[in-house]
């Protein structure tokens, strides 16, 4: 039997806190076994060595600068598989909050009025998920990603299987955890339309679902609207909460065509959103 070389794996950071990569590093017990099956060649949080030769690229962070667009395209050209790692990469994340304001206003707020003459030199653009720039094969959602989901995803990928992402609403996880619905407490929640897989950790620890994992595929919006009416809430109030994690609110603001000469259209892939 021919012995194939271990897949070469790289982790990359763009605009993010790198919390999702720290979750990968928190797999202390599992890492020795993982390293028996893959070779990590690029991981700034864990090693100083770097290589431009890799098969699988895990990309954390949203795109918020023109130079990041160029770097991301290079990663896509090199990697056989690209995985969006976490909310910032998959949906734009918290970084999309800046998209609510004109970029000139953002620059002035961050860099001060005295730097006004240099605004054009500041490389900042509306934040966006990576799949508005390149083709993405798979997504691991969350802020940060769940450790168990990363491990199950990597296991399936290395076995040659298509990694299956959770595709039911957080309400299911809440019921399994035995939580009292936060609507009963007079609090609005995004659980009915948000992708689960987090074990409803936010609700379990006393808050509500913030929508960090993005919307579930084909959410039952009619049923959610009925729930909102039952508790005297409106769809608009809940929609505003979804904007916290961006989801690249507004196609125009997240359009790559606005910021680069050679636009790259968004392409649907075998992965899940």
pLDDT digits (tens, 9 = 90+) for 201-259: 999 999 999 999 988 888 777 777 787 788 877 766 666 666 777 555 443 445 554 44
Asked whether residue 205 is domain-assigned, the answer is: yes
Residue 162 tokens, joined: 């298509």
206 lies in the same domain as 86 = no
Residues 108, 175: one domain? no
**d(C-alpha 269, C-alpha 124), whole Å:** 28
In terms of domains, do 130 and 223 share one?
no
Q: What is the mean pLDDT of residues 41-67?
A: 95
Total count of domains within the chain: 2
Looking at 1-10, 60-69, 121-130, 181-190, which range is the least confident one? Answer: 1-10
3-class state of residue 24 by DSSP: helix
70 and 136 co-located in one domain:
yes
Distance CA 239, CA 224 (A): 12
CA-derived radius of gyration, the chain: 20
Q: Which domain holds residue 79?
A: 8-164
For tokens 């809940």, name the residue: 238
Instruction: Kindly give the residue spans of alpha helices, DSSP state H, lying in the chain.
Output: 19-25, 31-34, 66-78, 87-91, 103-111, 147-158, 170-177, 201-204, 221-230, 235-242
Whether the predicted pLDDT of 266 surpasses 80: no
Residue 272 lies in a domain: no
| Same domain flag for 149 and 32 | yes
| Mean local confidence (pLDDT), 66-71 | 95
Residue 260 lies in a domain: no
Alpha helices in 79-131 (DSSP H): 87-91, 103-111
Beta strands in 1-141 (DSSP E): 8-13, 39-42, 56-60, 81-85, 138-140
Whether 69 and 89 share a structural domain: yes
pLDDT category at 129 given cuts 50, 70, 90 is: very high
CA neighbor of 60 nearest in space, from 40, 97, 90 = 90
Of the candidates 131, 164, 197, which is a domain's last residue?
A: 164
Rounded to the nearest 5°, which phi and psi values hold at 146?
-75, 140
The reported pTM is: 0.85
Confidence of residue 271 (pLDDT cuts 50, 70, 90): very low
Structural domain includes residue 253: no
CATH label of the domain that carries residue 24: 3.40.50.700
Residue 271 lies in a domain: no
Q: What is the DSSP letter of 166?
A: P
Residue 123 is assigned to a structural domain of this protein: yes
The CA-based angle 105-108-114, given to 5 degrees, is 150
């Amino acid at each position: 039997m021919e012995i194939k070389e271990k897949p070469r794996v790289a982790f990359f950071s763009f605009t993010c806190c790198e919390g999702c990569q720290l979750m990968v590093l928190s797999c202390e017990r599992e890492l020795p076994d993982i390293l028996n099956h893959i070779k990590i060649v690029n991981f700034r949080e864990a090693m100083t060595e770097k290589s431009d030769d890799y098969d699988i690229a895990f990309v954390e962070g949203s795109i918020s600068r023109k130079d990041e667009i160029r770097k991301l395209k290079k990663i896509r050209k090199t990697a056989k598989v690209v995985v969006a790692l976490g909310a910032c990469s998959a949906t734009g994340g918290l970084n999309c909050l800046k998209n609510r304001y004109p970029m000139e206003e953002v620059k002035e707020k961050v860099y001060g009025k005295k730097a006004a003459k240099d605004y054009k030199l500041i490389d900042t653009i509306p934040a966006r998920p990576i799949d508005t720039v390149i083709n993405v094969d798979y997504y691991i959602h969350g802020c940060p990603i769940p450790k168990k989901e990363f491990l199950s995803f990597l296991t399936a990928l290395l076995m040659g299987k298509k990694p299956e992402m959770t595709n039911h609403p957080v309400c299911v996880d809440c019921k399994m955890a035995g939580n009292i619905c936060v609507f009963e407490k007079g609090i609005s929640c995004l659980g009915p339309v948000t992708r689960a897989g987090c074990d409803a950790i936010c609700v379990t620890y006393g808050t509500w679902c913030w929508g960090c994992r993005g919307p579930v595929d084909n959410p039952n919006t009619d049923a959610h609207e009925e729930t909102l009416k039952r508790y005297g809430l409106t769809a608009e109030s809940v929609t505003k909460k979804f904007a916290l994690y961006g989801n690249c609110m507004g196609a125009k603001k997240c359009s790559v065509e606005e910021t680069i000469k050679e636009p790259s259209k968004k392409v649907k892939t075998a992965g899940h959103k």
